[in-house]
Structure 1
Amino acid sequence: FKPNTDDIRDAKSLEIIEMLKAEGATIRAYDPAAAENVRAIHPDITYVNSALETGQDADAIILVTEWNEFKSLDLTRLGQIMRRKLIFDGRRVFTPYQIERAGFEYVTVGAKG
């Protein structure tokens, strides 16, 4: 929702979690500050300890908050542990060059193409 805070009021990530659960998705979530607040609402999803760990055997990554940790994520390593190299970037954290170099499919908001 907001980087560097545990505030989850009106967080779009909560809506996304609900939609994915309704479709039967397996969810691995990471938030360095708000995980406990989200766990109180969604105790039935898996919480991991790092941004990289969310990618383990994942079909996609959905990036909803622009934490600095995400900006410095090793995309090459992330791609090696994912089942499908697909990122939905709701905050335009990555540059097209970074994504292209790491070989990801990339969906972002506000981008031409």
Structure 2
Amino acid sequence: MSTIYRCGSRGALAGVRRPHLHPVPAVADRLNAERHELAGAACTKADPEVFFDGTPGAIEVAKQICGGCPVRARCLRLALERGEAFGIFGGLTADERRRLRRKGVSAA
């Protein structure tokens, strides 16, 4: 049974007519491993849009959600490894993560 990668308009398969039908095993396997590693994350019960809104109110709400998350450190480590350029991951904004990377800090 092959894994199916579902992506949004900005995903790896942007421009593909029906991306949900195209198996991308390497990407899907990596994403499944990350999902398993982040099982139990507090953000799974929240609206994903709040983590990418960018307004001060949404940033505060996202950080509050992350504040009590049991997998916050792992989420931050993955975001730093992947170089996430947008959104709140591990309780930090993209700018805060960039500052950490510049300082050479790891989330290990």
TM-score by length of 1: 0.33
Structure with bigger strand share is 1
TM-score by length of 2: 0.34
